[in-house]
Chains A and B, each alone.
Chain A
Amino acid sequence: MAEKGVKVFGMWASPMVIRVEWALQLKGVTYEYIDEDLGNKSDALLRHNPLTKKVPVLLHDGKPIAESAIIVEYIDEVWKDGYPIMPADPYERAQARFWAKYADEKCNAAIYPVFTATGEAQSKVVHEAQQCLKTLEKALEGKKFFGGDAFGYLDVIVGWYAHWLPIIEEVSGASVVTEEELPLMKAWFDRILAVDVVKETLPPRDKLLALNKARREQLLSA
């Protein structure tokens, strides 16, 4: 007998998980949040996502879905009368999916080295991260959000940058998203942080900063 309702298996510091929370909250869906210890994953998580064992996993009436971008589209389709997350127009949808893939594949890969690079190596990785983000920034031109006037799918996918990138910058001492290099993105960060569902779900900055500092030290000493 399948359990009714919505559950999210997540981890408080994960930006991929927060996408799912934003989508659910935009739709006004009540859900149970299960915070996982990634070093000691629950049986339930392992059962619901045996393939990758990662968070987030959405469980809807007992049926699991993994991969945050896919979960967000699912949420948009199931609660289709709620807040519109994906654009309505097929061409706009294709653009949103294109940029979501670009961000997740290229930008994330370019940002990660910034977290650990030190000394001379840092300026090279910062430059590469900026190039990636400048390409992405083009999709913001003339708009308040990637979704246009309103917070939409691509904002849900990359909005985490607004909270996590400044922390990565602080922890590593690098400067990536500046007024000079990425003015549109910087302005968009402020708008993202003012969105209600974002404000209500972001992990506390000091806690996230402390976690990332510790993680960076661990990686650098390995």
Chain B
Amino acid sequence: MGSQGDVTVLGTVVSPFALRVRMALYLKGVSYEYLEQNVFDKGELLLASNPVHKKVPVLIHGGKPVCESVAIVQYVDEFWSGAGFASILPADPYDRAVARFWAAYVDDKLVAAVLGILRAATEEERDEKVEAAHAVVAPMEEAFATCSKGKAFFSGGDSVGYLDLALGCHLFWLETLRSMFGVTIIDAGRTPQLAAWAERFLDTKAAKEVTPPTNSVEEYAGKLQAIWAAAASAK
């Protein structure tokens, strides 16, 4: 049974991992102090709270930091649990294992695929990277069918759960790739169920709560590209 001890989140409005944590807290109805970080000029609190990785997100609860979004989301689910709280992970151990498996897959493969598209130096390379991203997303169409059990979300119910958050938090970046390059990664032609899920997800209160400000992801993407270009020309 949880309590309302102080909760602080260190994040950025563009980090999918930070968005995931904020969505989890929203689902639990937990209020928290949000501190936007500048990852190009990291502050004391971030460095002190996550000395190992120096990354967002960090959840600080009663003064104790929790790092790594996968650990944070499960912490949030476990601490604020029981009567009156929505569940994030499913109840059944097998369903939990499947959700964790696909969430790990998303984090392992999708982020790299997105960055690959962003980093591509030529249109040809970009096309290759987009193909690679399609290949990453493809198995999730069947995963959706299995996990959703005919319902609206990966959770197997009418509201979002662990795997919805794990994949859903990346949708804002996929939208930005669409506006920057005209590419659609979760494509209704190739992965129709997933595309329909994505629309539903973005329409949820949890997603709307954390939708990054207009152009913020594109601006951040631009900064990354500038850093990569500078590093490349410095060689």
Contacts and interface: CB of A to CB of B under 8 A. Distances in A.
The 9 closest A-B pairs by CB, nearest first: A97-B71, A77-B93, A94-B75, A90-B78, A74-B97, A94-B71, A90-B79, A94-B66, A65-B97
A51 B139 contact: yes
A47 to B, nearest CB: 14
Main secondary structure of the interface of B (DSSP, over half): helix
B52 A102 contact: yes
Contacts of B104: 67, 70
B75 A70 contact: no
Given A90-B79, A94-B71, A73 B101 contact: no
Interface string A73-117: 110011000000000001101110110011000000000000000
Nearest to B102: A51
Main secondary structure of the interface of A (DSSP, over half): helix
Contacts, number: 57
Interface in A107-158: 135
Interface of B: 52, 61, 64, 66-68, 70-72, 74-75, 78-79, 93-94, 96-98, 100-101, 104-105, 139
Contacts of A67: 100-101, 104
A70 B78 contact: no
B66 A71 contact: no
A101 B94 contact: no
Contacts of A73: 96-97, 100
Contacts of A70: 97, 100-101, 104
